[in-house]
């Protein structure tokens, strides 16, 4: 009784310790002080959830039954880990860049985010893992009863209590507390991982402690131990080659596909470089875990009475020697193995169930009527907590229904074989771009069906298939017998089922993939997954860059010579803060290199050469799309800008032209109006004056009469012509007056002007001097006459001398006077009127000669 | 390099790096090969005509291979690590 009480107390204390560790780790991570949480050692230790209670206790039993075959369960993961460069590196990179949350998420994301595939994988995982969880519950119960055997009171106590139920409830509590604190796949479960790492140390320490006790305490050293091993029942090498290879392969596959392994390998991975450490440290861990298995088994077989359960040797050997403390430690090791596996498996399964089954159904039921993200968050966390409860409840129910016992022990490998069905879809997905959703689905269904038919159903609870089906096949179809598909009999059932299911799974997967056609999203995701190292810009992806730099260097040396190029590259590397000769091929560096090269071979050639080498650098379709989007936006924007600016320029030009035209028009208008008003007024004045003379003057000479009438007539004609001009549109349009060019004498023009202005009468004396008065002019005589008329009229009007006299002095300066080209409002003084004291506005109209 | 006249420069370390990557790729194959060898050993024979390999030597062999693989993996990952993270021992 005392032993059992102590055991329960130690057990509770240990659980409390785990809670405390998890809690502290969460706190430290929250406060950002959790650097040690992100060490590669924690990562490596967390991988140890591969070693469940089944391997902790079961490996010894396995070894006691069939020798070294147990080691295959560890050889597979070892091979996968030392081969991390192949698959794990890629998986971790994909998981990190694509924010993968579970193995179902990985497969569904790869195949175009297919919901159907995710559900399929989730169901497969549930079916495969639930028995495994119940196996852990069973192992804890068994180990309790192993203690109880030595304690009759305790035995009855244990029989009354349902240990498995309490364990399940406790585990559910722990997982819900520390496994559903946050949602983001990028935020790791620091508390859980830390607790698992502690448990990993405990179980390794426990097993080694028992092993050391057995080898040095009981056998008396290494050599006697080896002799005892050889002398035992399993002392000679005996191995079924098929099982050796098959189980190694199966465990390797399961290591990659088990949801809990995926959780710690990929989802909880903090840093890709942790894989480098885990690559050798985890195989070492596995090696140490299995190192003392055979010695414990051999000693157990020797010491314990025949018929005792070899699966409990780890506990019963120390107990039989009275080493209760050691047995307690071993018990804690087994307890750790069981709990850590259940916790992570529950987290992984609950993530899958809530993300791929509960949430889609919830979203469909609510028809998207969700009130904001906090609502969804709440629902997701609730779904995850419920899923954890459901997963553990399923495990417990399975344990109850199957009744425990040895039937469960076989479930470990059955589970491995079931989860291994994910391998073709998974590996095909990350290594083969041609893999399609239909292929993955068909392969999965095929493999799952064969596995269920050949392995799960025959083994389920002691076999749910009737004996007739097992013996003769369904409906008497012989080649469908669960243990002899296609009539091949006599194979190991596990090997038989594993081989056929995986083989047909892969074949169907490949064939359907080849025949079907992927959707665009699938193709996109496929390219992203398969070429993940070309796409993701992780700082560690230096391999391509350095290789390209080296190619560039070789090429440059051929052109520029080794010394110069080495100096240049070294300087560039130093500029980038790197030692050695090879800088990263940054755009900056490439531009400078191109400039150097173009000095020797010309710009275009240099560019082509660099592009030829750097051309291998690909960008992801997403990047391209983003760039294209950006470019399109920029192009659109710039074309809009350009159009706007063009429009502005055009408008400005038009405005300027319009302004010019307006100014011109205004000038013309002013000129025109002045001209017209002057030109119309003068003939009118003279007509009015002479007609008044004709009307009022008494006794005019007929000669004068005729002259005045002629003047009136001539002025009227001139007025008419002026009006004609005015009406002529071309005056406005061309800004110039049509000249009525005729040949004539200047003196005639002047005489006409004097006569028209009436100045020869009495008001002002007009003197005409100069010999050139008789000069012959080719011009518009009306206009010229107008000039003189204006001149004389203005002189008459504004001159206030007593005896006004106007001298018109015509002189020839040699130049040829050719009409007027422009008419402008220049207040210029015409020649020959200097003596007149007139204001500057005297001449409204000036003639500018060219 | 084919042309002997121009002494083309190849950085030794990056070359080594890539060979190390090759080693990392080949390591699991080595493990598979070494762990397949036990299948060739003489098995326990009920008739007792052939002396089977003893389990102790089998353990020594299998665990020896295990240690060897772990050591090579350690070496490879350390070498790859030092290149990726600290590139300052630049005596090329």
Q: Which of A340, A412, A333, A384 is nearest to A134 (CA)?
A: A412
CA distance A495 to B74: 33
CA distance A835 to A837: 6
Q: Does A708 reside within a domain? A: no
Q: Which of A91-95, A165-169, A733-737, B14-18 has the lowest mean pLDDT?
A: A733-737
Residue identified by tokens 């990028």 is: A186
Does the residue A354 lie in any domain?
A: yes
A521 and A488 in a common domain: yes
DSSP 3-state assignment of A247? helix
Q: How confident is the model at residue A614 (pLDDT cuts 50, 70, 90)?
A: low
Measure the CA–CA gap between A500 and A505, rounded to whole angstroms: 8
Q: What is the CATH number of the domain that holds A349?
A: 1.20.1730.10
Q: Which two tokens stand for residue A436?
A: 């399609």
Q: pLDDT class for A248, splitting at 50, 70, 90?
A: very high
A81–B92 CB contact, under 8 Å: no
Phi, then psi, of A761 in degrees rounded to 5: -80, -75
**In a domain? residue A716:** no
pLDDT of residue A284: 93
pLDDT single digits (tens) A323-354: 888 888 888 888 888 888 888 888 888 888 88
C-alpha distance from residue A787 to each of A750, A765, A819 (Å): 10, 18, 12
Encoding tokens for residue A244? 């050796």
Q: Would you call B56 and A230 a contact, using CB atoms and an 8 Å cutoff?
A: yes
Which member of B25, B27, B70 has the closest CB to residue A284?
A: B70
Q: Note whether residue A633 is domain-resident.
A: no
Q: pLDDT at residue A532 above 80?
A: no
> What percent of chain A has pLDDT above 70?
79
Of the three residues A405, A438, A457, the one that is the final residue of a domain is A405
Whether residues A315 and A461 fall in one domain: no
Query: What is the CB-side half-sphere exposure of residue B34 using CA atoms within 13 A?
Result: 20
Cβ proximity of A492 and A76 under 8 Å: no
The dihedral formed by the CA atoms of B11, B13, B18 and B24, expressed in degrees to the nearest 10: 170
| Residue A305 DSSP one-character state | P
Whether residues A390 and A502 share a domain: the answer is no
- Dihedrals phi, psi of A741, to nearest 5 degrees: -85, 125
Which residue from A minimizes the CA distance to B35? A75
| Residue B33 touches chain A, beta carbons under 8 Å | no
**B68 shares contact with chain A (CB less than 8 Å):** no
For residue A774, give its domain range: 739-850
Dihedral (CA of A22, A25, A29, A35) sign: negative
Query: Considering only residues 301 to 360 of chain A, which have any Cβ-Cβ distance to chain B shorter than 8 Å?
Result: none
Q: Are residues A129 and A276 in the same domain?
A: yes
| Domain shared by A17 and A93, yes or no | yes
pLDDT of residue A742: 79
Tell me the residue ranges of DSSP E strands in A399-545. 480-481, 484-485
Give the domain CATH number at A770.
3.30.565.10
> Which of B8, B52, B55 is opposite residue A294, by nearest beta carbon?
B55
Residues of B in Cβ contact (< 8 Å) with A554: 8-10
Chain A contacts of B32, Cβ < 8 Å? 79
CA distances from A571 to A567, A568, A581 (A): 6, 5, 8
Select the more confidently predicted residue: A158 or A3. Answer: A3
Instruction: Please state the domain count of chain B.
Output: 1
Contact check, Cβ <8 Å, B8/A245: no
Name the nearest CA neighbour of A773 among A811, A723, A740, A718: A811
Residue with the larger pLDDT of the pair A363 and A255: A255
Q: Is the pLDDT of residue A219 over 60?
A: yes
Instruction: List the one residue out of A604, A617, A618, A597 whose CA is nearest residue A548.
Output: A617
Are A286 and A434 contained in the same domain? no
> Is A683 within the bounds of a domain?
no
Look over chain A and give the mean of its residue pLDDT values, rounded to a whole number. Answer: 77
What are the pLDDT digits (tens) for A703-723? 888 888 888 888 888 888 777
Contact call for B73 and A546, based on CB within 8 A: no
- CA nearest neighbour of B36 among A239, A33, A265, A326: A239
Q: Which of A237, A276, A540 sits opposite B54 (nearest CB)?
A: A237
Claim to verify: residue A351 and residue A432 sit in the same structural domain? no
For chain A, say whether B18 makes contact (Cβ under 8 Å): yes
List helix spans (H) across A213-304. Answer: 222-231, 241-257, 259-262, 274-291, 293-303
Burial of A182 (0-12, 13-18, 19+ CB in 10 A): middle
Is B70's CB within 8 Å of A82's CB?
A: yes
In chain B, residues with a C-beta closer than 8 Å to the C-beta of A87 are none
pLDDT reported for residue A730:
54
Q: How confident is the model at residue A444 (pLDDT cuts 50, 70, 90)?
A: very high
Which of these, A186, A173, A130, lies nearest to A18 by C-alpha position? A173
Q: Are A752 and A829 members of one domain?
A: yes
SS (H, E, C) chain B: CCCCCCCCCCCHHHHHHHHHHHHHHHHHHHHHHHHHHHHHCCCCCCCCCCCCCEHHHHHHHHHHHHHHHHHHHHHHHHHHHHHHHCCCCCCC
Above 50 in pLDDT, residue A1?
no
pLDDT at A2: 54
Q: What is the mean pLDDT of residues A384-393?
A: 87
Task: Name, in order, each residue with C-beta under 8 angstroms of B86's C-beta and a sequence gap of 6 or more.
Answer: none
Residue range B16-73, pLDDT digits in tens: 778 888 888 899 999 999 999 888 888 776 666 667 788 888 889 999 999 999 999 8
A 60-119: CB under 8 A from B? 67-68, 71, 75, 78-86
**DSSP bridge pairs for A777:** A744
pLDDT(A544) > 60: no
Strand partners, A744: A777
| Assigned domain for B62 exists | yes
Residue after which a domain boundary falls, among A500, A531, A562: A531
Residues A213 and A337 in one domain: yes
Judge whether A343 and A174 are in contact, CB under 8 Å.
yes
- In whole angstroms, what separates CA A1 from the centre of its chain? 63
Chain B residue closest to A81 (CA)?
B28
Quote the pLDDT of residue B92.
30
Structural domain includes residue A699: no
Closest CA to A268 of A182, A187, A354: A187
Segment A74-100 shows an average pLDDT of: 86
Of A273, A280, A553, Cβ closest to residue B70:
A280
> From CA A413, how far away is CA A431, in angstroms rounded?
27
Q: Is the pLDDT of residue A539 over 80?
A: no
**A399/A436 same-domain check:** no
pLDDT for res A343: 85
C-alpha R_g of chain B: 21
Instruction: For chain A, report the end-to-end CA distance as a whole number of angstroms.
Output: 136
Find which of A272, A580, A582 to mutate to test the B interface (most B CBs within 10 Å of its CB): A580
3-state secondary structure A310-369: HHHHHHHHHHHCCCHHHHHHHHHHHHHHHHHHHHHHHHHHHHHHHHHHHHHHHHHHHCCC
Q: How far apart are CA A388 and CA A345, in angstroms?
A: 9
Q: Which of A32-41, A625-634, B60-69: highest mean pLDDT?
A: B60-69
Position A158 scores a pLDDT of: 53
Q: Which of A220-229, A355-364, A467-476 has the highest mean pLDDT?
A: A220-229
Specify whether the CB–CB gap between A786 and A679 falls below 8 A. yes
| Residue of B8, B44, B85 with shortest CB distance to A238 | B44
Most confident of A66-70, A610-614, B59-63: B59-63
Candidates B8, B41, B55; nearest CB to A229: B55
Counting the structural domains of chain A, the total is: 4
Strands A741-745, A484-485: pairing kind:
unpaired
Is the ipTM beyond the 0.85 threshold?
no
A825 pLDDT more than 50: no
Q: What's the helix, strand, coil split of chain A in %, to 5?
A: 75, 5, 25
Q: Which of A475, A425, A472, A392 is nearest to A168 (CA)?
A: A392
Query: Per the domain annotation, does B72 fall within a domain?
Result: yes
Query: Residue A713 and residue A123: Cα distance in Å, rounded?
Result: 120
- Partners of A277 on chain B (C-beta within 8 Å) are 77
Please state, in angstroms and rounded to a whole number, the distance separating the CA atoms of residues A355 and A221: 54
In order of A108, B5, B6, B7, B8, the CA distances from B2 in angstroms are 49, 9, 9, 10, 10
C-alpha span between A74 and A51 (Å, rounded): 9
Asked if residue A704 is part of any domain, the answer here is no
Q: Do A68 and B88 touch (CB under 8 A)?
A: no
Note the pLDDT of residue A423. 92
Who among B35, B67, B84 is closest to A75 (CB)? Answer: B35
Q: H or E stretch including A138?
A: helix A115-149
Averaged over A291-304, what is the pLDDT?
A: 88
- Check: CB of residue A146 under 8 Å from CB of residue A312: yes
Question: CB neighbours of B19 closer than 8 A, spacing ≥ 6?
Answer: none
Contact (Cβ atoms closer than 8 angstroms) between residue A510 and residue A439: yes
Are residue A352 and residue A446 in the same domain, yes or no? no
Is A574 within 8 Å of chain B by CB?
no
Do residues A474 and A457 touch, judged by C-beta distance below 8 A? no
Taking the C-alpha atoms of residue A525 and residue A620, their distance in angstroms, rounded to an integer, is: 10
- The pLDDT assigned to A741 comes to 77
Residues in chain B: 92
CB contacts under 8 A, B 42-61 vs A, are: 42-44, 52-56, 58-59
Q: How many CB atoms lie within 10 A of CB A431?
A: 13
Backbone phi, psi, residue A308, to 5°: -75, 150
B22 touches chain A (CB under 8 A): no
**Strand pairing partners for A765?**
A805
**Is residue B61 one of the residues assigned to a domain?**
yes
Is A846's Cβ below 8 Å from some Cβ in B? Answer: no
Question: Which of A553, A582, A614 is at the close of a domain?
Answer: A614
More confident of the two residues A730 and A44 = A44
Which domain does B63 fall in, by range?
A: 57-84
Nearest to B38 among A78, A85, A239 (CB): A239
> What percentage of residues in chain A have a pLDDT greater than 90?
8
Tell me if A235 and B55 make a contact (CB, 8 A cut-off): yes
Averaging pLDDT over each range in A416-430, A717-731, A739-753, A831-845, which range is the top one? A416-430
Residues belonging to chain A:
850
Q: Are A440 and A111 in contact (CB under 8 A)?
A: yes
Selection from A129, A133, A148 nearest residue A331 by Cα: A148
A544: nearest CA partner in chain B: B18
Residue A491 structure tokens: 């194979």
Write down the pLDDT at residue A441.
Answer: 92
Element (H, E) at A743: strand A741-745
Predicted confidence at residue A618, as pLDDT, reads: 42
A143 within domain boundaries:
yes
Q: Is the pLDDT of residue A263 over 80?
A: yes
More confident residue, A317 or A763: A317
Residues A388 and A435 in one domain: no
Q: Is residue B14 part of a domain?
A: no
């Amino acid at each position: 009784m005392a032993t059992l009480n102590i055991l329960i107390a130690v057990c509770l204390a240990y659980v409390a310790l785990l809670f405390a560790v998890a809690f502290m780790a969460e706190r430290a991570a929250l406060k950002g002080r959790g650097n040690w949480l992100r060490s590669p050692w924690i990562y490596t230790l967390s991988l140890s959830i591969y070693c469940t209670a089944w391997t902790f206790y079961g490996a010894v039993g396995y070894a006691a039954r069939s020798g070294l075959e147990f080691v295959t369960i560890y050889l597979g993961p070892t091979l996968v880990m030392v081969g991390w460069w192949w698959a794990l590196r890629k998986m971790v990179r994909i998981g990190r860049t694509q924010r993968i949350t579970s193995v179902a998420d990985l497969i569904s994301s790869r195949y175009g985010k297919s919901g159907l595939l995710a559900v399929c994988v989730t169901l497969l995982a549930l079916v495969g893992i639930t028995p495994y969880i119940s196996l852990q519950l069973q192992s804890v119960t068994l180990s309790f009863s192993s203690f109880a055997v030595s304690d009759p009171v305790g035995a009855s106590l244990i029989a009354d209590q349902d240990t498995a139920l309490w364990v399940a409830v406790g585990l559910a509590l722990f997982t819900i507390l520390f496994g559903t604190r946050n949602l983001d796949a990028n935020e790791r479960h620091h508390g859980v991982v830390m607790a698992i790492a502690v448990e990993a140390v405990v179980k390794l320490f426990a097993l080694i402690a028992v092993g050391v006790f057995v080898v040095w305490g009981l056998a008396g050293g290494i050599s006697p131990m080896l002799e005892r091993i050889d002398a035992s029942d399993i002392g000679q090498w005996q191995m079924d080659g098929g099982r050796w290879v098959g189980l190694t392969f199966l465990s390797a596959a399961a290591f990659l596909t088990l949801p809990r392994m995926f959780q710690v390998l990929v989802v909880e991975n903090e840093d890709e470089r942790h894989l480098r450490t885990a690559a050798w440290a985890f195989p070492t861990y596995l090696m140490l875990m299995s190192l003392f298995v055979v010695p414990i088994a051999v000693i157990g077989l020797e010491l314990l009475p025949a018929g005792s359960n070899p699966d409990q040797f780890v506990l019963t050997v120390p107990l039989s020697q009275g080493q209760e403390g050691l047995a307690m430690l071993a018990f804690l090791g087994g307890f750790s193995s069981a709990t850590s596996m259940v916790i992570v498996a529950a987290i992984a399964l609950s993530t899958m169930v809530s993300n791929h089954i509960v949430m889609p159904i919830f979203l469909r039921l609510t028809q998207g009527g969700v009130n904001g993200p906090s609502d969804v968050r709440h629902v997701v966390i609730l779904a995850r907590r419920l899923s954890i409860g459901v997963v553990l409840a399923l495990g417990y129910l399975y344990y109850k229904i199957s009744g425990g016992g040895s039937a469960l022990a076989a479930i470990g490998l059955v589970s491995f074989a079931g989860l291994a069905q994910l391998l073709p879809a998974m590996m095909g997905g990350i290594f083969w771009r041609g893999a399609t959703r239909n292929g993955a689905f068909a392969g999965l269904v095929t493999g799952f069906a064969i596995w269920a038919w050949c392995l799960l159903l025959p083994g389920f609870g002691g076999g749910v298939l009737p004996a007739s089906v097992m013996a003769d096949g369904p409906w008497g179809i012989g080649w469908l017998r669960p243990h002899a598909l296609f009539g091949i009999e006599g194979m190991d059932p596990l090997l038989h089922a594993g081989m056929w299911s995986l083989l047909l799974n892969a074949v169907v997967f490949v064939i359907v993939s080849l025949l079907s056609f992927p959707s665009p999203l699938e193709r996109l995701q496929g390219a992203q997954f398969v070429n993940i190292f070309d796409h993701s810009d992780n700082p560690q992806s230096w391999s391509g860059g350095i290789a390209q730099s080296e190619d560039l260097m070789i090429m440059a040396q051929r052109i520029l010579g080794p010394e110069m190029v080495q100096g240049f590259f070294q300087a560039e590397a130093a500029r980038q803060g790197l030692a050695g000769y090879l800088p990263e091929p940054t755009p900056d560096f490439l531009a400078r290199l191109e400039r150097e090269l173009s000095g020797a071979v010309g710009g275009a050639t240099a560019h082509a050469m660099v592009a030829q080498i750097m051309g291998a650098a690909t960008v992801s379709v997403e990047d391209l799309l983003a760039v294209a989007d950006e470019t399109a936006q920029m192009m659109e924007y710039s074309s809009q800008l350009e159009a706007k600016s063009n429009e502005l320029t055009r408008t400005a030009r038009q405005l300027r032209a319009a302004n010019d035209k307006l100014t011109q028009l205004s000038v013309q208008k002013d000129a025109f109006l002045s001209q017209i008003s002057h030109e119309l007024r003068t003939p009118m004045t003279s007509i009015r004056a002479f007609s008044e003379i004709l009307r009022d003057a008494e006794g005019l000479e007929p000669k004068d009469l005729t002259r005045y009438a002629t003047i009136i007539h001539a002025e009227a004609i001139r007025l008419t012509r002026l009006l004609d001009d005015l009406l002529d549109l071309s005056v406005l349009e061309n800004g110039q007056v049509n000249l009525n060019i005729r040949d004539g004498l200047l003196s005639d023009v002047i005489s006409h002007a004097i006569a028209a202005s009436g100045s020869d009468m009495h008001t002002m004396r007009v003197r005409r001097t100069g010999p050139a008065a008789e000069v012959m002019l080719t011009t518009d005589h009306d206009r010229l006459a107008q000039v003189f008329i204006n001149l004389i009229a203005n002189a008459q009007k504004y001159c206030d001398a007593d005896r006004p006299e106007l001298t018109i002095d015509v002189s020839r300066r040699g130049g040829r006077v050719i009409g007027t080209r422009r008419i402008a409002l220049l207040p210029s003084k015409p020649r020959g009127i200097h003596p007149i004291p007139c204001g500057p506005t005297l001449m409204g109209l000036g003639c500018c000669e060219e | 390099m084919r042309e002997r006249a121009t002494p083309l420069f190849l950085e030794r370390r990056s070359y080594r790096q890539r060979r190390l990557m090759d080693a990392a790729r080949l390591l699991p194959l080595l493990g598979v090969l070494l762990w397949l060898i036990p299948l060739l050993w003489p098995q326990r024979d009920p008739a007792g005509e052939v002396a089977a390999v003893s389990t102790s030597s089998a353990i020594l062999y299998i665990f020896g291979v295990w240690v060897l693989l772990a050591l090579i993996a350690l070496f490879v990952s350390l070498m790859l690590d030092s290149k990726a993270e600290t590139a300052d021992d630049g005596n090329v």
